[in-house]
């Protein structure tokens, strides 16, 4: 029934029209005095469908009355028809401007009024329906945007739990009428679901979720109840999970079903991609963990370098340098660019001596000095001891401050920022900034300095470690050269008897020739013959001495392309007398045209000599040593075999161990050094032996590729 609020000071007219409206099926609320209007509006205002108003009331102007009606929240949207006979043009225009819906000039028939009322009521209904439609369309547009936004948010996750947390929160926040969203995923290989997450957290999971799994698998569509929507998440006709959305309004719940169903299709693809990614993660877990760790470190380093381009440039320099001076110069350049300070320094701990080396920034120069801390310990020592930074804006008041050790000679500290340099939890020194030019040191300065400190500490530690390794490598090289030289001397000693005999023979011949020439009056041709013989023996003796000296002098460290056959012949010339002295036989089969090898000739010759001498030691009686050279693919092989007593498997297992020997008076280093030398040349040594049948050592050296 339409309710008309009739406002007119003419009581007779009000009564007449009320009767007419009643006969037309309208309910009338009549007001003839302004003082009665407020009570009627307060009690019945929300039932009024239309207002019929004569603004000519005795106690209030028409404009004020109209404005009053429009300000009442109960009458919002109610059409007002002005019904009057004495309004002026200005009043009509004012009221129409304020929003009157229609007007009728008195006198007018009741039928015309009824028609006007019916028209305005219909217009009101149409406006209300339009508003409902607009609100519906706005909600649908909102839901479409929500689908797009939630879908985009979901694709940003590669973790199901995180995706569910984001999606459930977004669904509750963006879909009207929903106040709880639970998310379930199917357990692979089982007809059941597992609860993954919900928003808000206090949402109660479904009791009959596994029954719903079977039902959703069968229906493959959304299930709607009075206060709940069950949305299946399907992918390639397989149920991947469920979304359970709870709400209050069944009408609104029905309204969001299409949007949720569309969203479920997108989420199915997202979940499938996440599962695929998870499978890849499982197969590559170790690699992924390493990548994630590297990414974490890289991100951490990048965050530290974001402060300024200067920090980045410094990191580039120090990360590529293993020289301590270069690292400190780069840091000082960065400090000069980042901080407006009077001076700065880097101080490094120096082993057990506890000396602190200071790289000091002075104007445009960087100088280096050494401070003896044996007598005094200052603020810098305190920072290094505690491994904690220190900001001092009144330096002299600190109890540990010592002018002699805490400041360069050219500066009197007033303010100081000191930060420990710590690498792998081990202090290596400290960075010290002195006398900020503008203001006091603050937390921002500390944060900025702390951004470069870890990389600086690591770079310094690496440079120190590198220098230590260089020193160790040099010591190792010297030790190896000394061992090789000692073994050469030992080999020379083993050849001493035969070498002495080989030297004595030419000396005896020289002595005889000279004695004949000097003691006897020989003809000139005969003297010349004896002197020529003496000269030949001198040349022979000189050649022998040169060979001994060439072998025994310290080895050259330069590598060069070598012919293995030449090295074998050189060693055999050195051992020739030793072999003939014991009536041993050397059989050689040196293949011509061998590819060169790349190495140090003295070292490789030492290996061949050591193996040959060991072969002689293994021979009893008249023995034979065979030497074979040949090329086998990428290798040049030298096989030295003997028919001596051979070795047991136990002896073979220990022959390369330092100081292991089965011969009294031997050092036990020959084969150890031989193995090490050949290994350094990229080769290998193989041995075969049988007790009573002899041994064979095969030396493999890689072919030199030019």
pLDDT tens readout for residues 637-679: 999 999 888 888 888 887 777 665 666 444 455 677 788 888 8
pLDDT of residue 696: 92
- Angle, vertex CA 679, rays to CA 677 and CA 681, nearest 5: 75
CA distance 178 to 672: 82
Instruction: Domain 146-283: give its CATH architecture.
Output: 2-Layer Sandwich (3.30)
Report yes or no: 41 and 15 within 8 Å, Cβ to Cβ.
no
Alpha-carbon distance 168 to 245, whole Å? 9
CB 316 within 8 Å of CB 330: no
pTM: predicted TM-score of the whole model, two decimal places: 0.34
Nearest to 72 by CA among 53, 91, 92, 94: 53
H-helix segments, 582-669: 601-618, 649-654
What does DSSP say about strands 355-362 and 365-371: parallel, antiparallel, or unpaired? antiparallel
pLDDT of residue 111: 78
Within 13 Å and on the Cβ side, how many CA atoms surround 22? 9
- At 116 the pLDDT is 82
Q: Compute how many other C-beta atoms are within 10 angstroms of the C-beta atom of residue 281.
A: 14
558-706 in CATH: which number?
3.30.565.10
Residues ≥6 apart with Cβ < 8 Å to 701:
564, 597, 599, 604, 635, 636, 637, 638, 678, 681, 682, 683
Decide the pairing of beta strands 390-392 and 223-224.
unpaired
DSSP 3-state of 432:
strand
Q: Provide the Cα torsion 89, 90, 96, 98; round to 10°.
A: -170
For the chain, domain boundaries: 3-108, 146-283, 310-457, 558-706
Q: Are 98 and 118 in contact (CB under 8 A)?
A: no
Report the C-alpha dihedral over residues 531, 533, 537, 538, rounded to 10 degrees. Answer: 20
User: Which of 242, 289, 238 has its CA nearest to residue 261?
Assistant: 242
| Parallel/antiparallel/unpaired status of strands 635-642 and 560-562 | unpaired
Instruction: Specify whether the CB–CB gap between 11 and 31 falls below 8 A.
Output: no
- Please choose, from the candidates 613, 617, 578, 651, the residue with its C-alpha nearest in 3D space to the C-alpha of residue 487: 613
Helix (H) or strand (E) holding 449: helix 443-494
* CA pair distance 26, 35, nearest whole angstrom: 24
Q: In whole angstroms, what is the distance from residue 322 CA to residue 317 CA?
A: 10
- CATH homologous superfamily for the domain 3-108: Response regulator (3.40.50.2300)
Query: CB under 8 Å to 522, separation ≥6 — which residues?
Result: 516, 530
- Angstrom CA distances, 152 to 70, 179, 270, stand at 45, 22, 10
**So what's the pLDDT on residue 306?**
58
Q: Are 233 and 154 in contact (CB under 8 A)?
A: no
The two domains 146-283 and 310-457 share their CATH topology (first three levels equal):
yes
End-to-end CA distance of the chain: 109
Q: What is the pLDDT of residue 122?
A: 83
Q: Cα–Cα distance between 247 and 256 in angstroms, integer?
A: 11
Selection from 197, 195, 309, 182 nearest residue 245 by Cα: 182
**Would you list the DSSP string of 332-378?**
HHHHHHH--EEEEEEEEEEGGGTEEEEEEEETTEEEEEEE--SS---
| H-helix segments, 220-284 | 250-255, 257-283
Query: Rounded to an integer, what distance in angstroms lies between the CA atom of residue 686 and that of residue 651?
Result: 14
Sheet-wide strand order for 27-31: 27-31, 3-7, 50-53, 80-84, 102-105
At 13-46, the pLDDT tens digits run 888 888 888 887 888 888 888 888 888 888 888 8
Domain covering 310-457 assigned CATH 3.30.460.20 in the classification: no
Helix runs in 284-354, H state only: 285-305, 309-319, 324-338
Using CA atoms, how far apart are residues 604 and 681, in angstroms rounded to an integer? 9
Please state the separation of Cα 200 from the chain's center in Å.
34
Residues of the chain scoring pLDDT < 50: 353, 355, 370, 374, 497-498, 664-667
């Amino acid at each position: 029934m339409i309710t008309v609020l009739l406002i007119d000071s003419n009581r007779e007219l009000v009564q007449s029209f009320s009767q007419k409206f009643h006969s037309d099926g309208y309910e009338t609320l009549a007001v003839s005095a302004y003082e009665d209007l407020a009570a009627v509006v307060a009690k019945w205002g929300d039932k009024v469908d239309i207002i019929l108003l004569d603004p000519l009331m005795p106690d209030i102007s028409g404009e004020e009355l109209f404005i009053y009606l429009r300000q009442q929240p109960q009458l919002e949207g109610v059409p007002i028809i002005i019904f009057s006979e004495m309004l002026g043009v200005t009043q009509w225009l004012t009221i129409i401007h304020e929003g009157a819906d229609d007007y009728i000039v008195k006198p007018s028939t009741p039928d015309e009024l009824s028609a006007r009322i019916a028209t305005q009521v219909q217009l009101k209904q149409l406006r209300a329906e339009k508003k409902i439609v607009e609100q519906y369309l706005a909600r649908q547009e909102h839901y479409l945007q929500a689908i797009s936004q939630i879908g985009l948010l979901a694709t940003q996750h590669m973790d199901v739990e995180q995706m569910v947390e984001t999606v459930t929160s977004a669904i509750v926040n963006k879909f009207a009428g929903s106040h709880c969203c639970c998310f379930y995923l199917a357990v692979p290989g089982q007809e059941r679901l597992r609860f993954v997450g919900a928003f808000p957290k206090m949402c109660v999971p479904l009791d009959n979720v596994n029954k719903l799994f079977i039902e959703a698998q069968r229906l493959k569509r959304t299930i709607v109840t009075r206060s709940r929507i069950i949305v299946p998440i399907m992918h390639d006709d397989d149920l991947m999970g469920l979304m359970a959305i709870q709400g209050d309004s069944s009408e609104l719940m029905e309204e969001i079903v299409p949007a949720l169903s569309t969203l479920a299709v997108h989420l199915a693809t997202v979940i499938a991609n996440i599962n695929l990614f998870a499978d890849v993660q499982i197969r590559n877990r170790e690699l992924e963990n390493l990548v994630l760790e590297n990414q974490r470190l890289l991100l951490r380093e990048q965050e530290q370098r974001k402060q300024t381009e200067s920090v980045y440039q410094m990191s580039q320099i120090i990360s590529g340098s293993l020289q301590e001076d270069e690292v400190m110069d780069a840091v000082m350049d960065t400090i000069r660019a980042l901080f407006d300070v009077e001076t700065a320094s880097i101080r490094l701990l120096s082993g057990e001596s506890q000396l602190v080396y200071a790289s000091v920034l002075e104007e445009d120069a960087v100088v280096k000095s050494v401070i003896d801390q044996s007598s005094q310990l200052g603020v810098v020592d305190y920072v290094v001891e505690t491994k904690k930074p220190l900001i001092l804006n009144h330096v002299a008041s600190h109890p540990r401050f010592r002018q002699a050790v805490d400041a360069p000679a050219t500066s009197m500290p007033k303010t100081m920022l000191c930060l420990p340099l710590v690498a792998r939890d081990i202090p290596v020194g400290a960075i010290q900034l002195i006398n900020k030019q503008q203001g006091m040191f603050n937390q921002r300065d500390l944060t900025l300095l702390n951004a470069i400190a870890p990389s600086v500490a690591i770079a310094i530690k690496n440079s120190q470690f590198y220098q230590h390794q260089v020193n160790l490598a040099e010591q190792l090289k010297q030790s190896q050269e000394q061992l090789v030289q000692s073994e050469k001397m030992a080999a020379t000693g083993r050849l001493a008897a035969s070498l002495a005999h080989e030297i004595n023979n030419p000396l005896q011949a020289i002595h005889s020739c000279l004695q004949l020439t000097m003691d006897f009056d020989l003809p000139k041709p005969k003297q010349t013959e004896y002197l020529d013989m003496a000269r030949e023996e001198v040349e022979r003796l000189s050649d022998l001495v040169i060979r001994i000296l060439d072998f025994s002098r310290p080895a050259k460290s330069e590598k060069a392309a070598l012919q293995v056959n030449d090295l074998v012949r050189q060693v055999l010339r050195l051992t020739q007398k030793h072999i003939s002295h014991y009536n041993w036989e050397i059989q050689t089969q040196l293949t011509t045209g061998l590819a060169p090898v790349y190495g140090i000739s003295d070292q490789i010759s030492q290996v061949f000599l050591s193996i040959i001498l060991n072969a002689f030691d293994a021979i009893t009686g008249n023995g034979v040593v065979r030497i074979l050279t040949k090329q086998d693919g990428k290798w040049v092989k030298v096989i030295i075999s003997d028919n001596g007593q051979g070795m047991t498997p136990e002896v073979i297992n220990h022959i390369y161990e330092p100081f292991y020997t089965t011969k009294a008076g031997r050092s036990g280093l020959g084969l150890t050094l031989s193995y090490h030398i050949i290994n350094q040349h990229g080769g290998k040594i193989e041995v075969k032996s049988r007790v009573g049948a002899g041994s064979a050592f095969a030396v493999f050296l890689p072919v030199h590729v030019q």
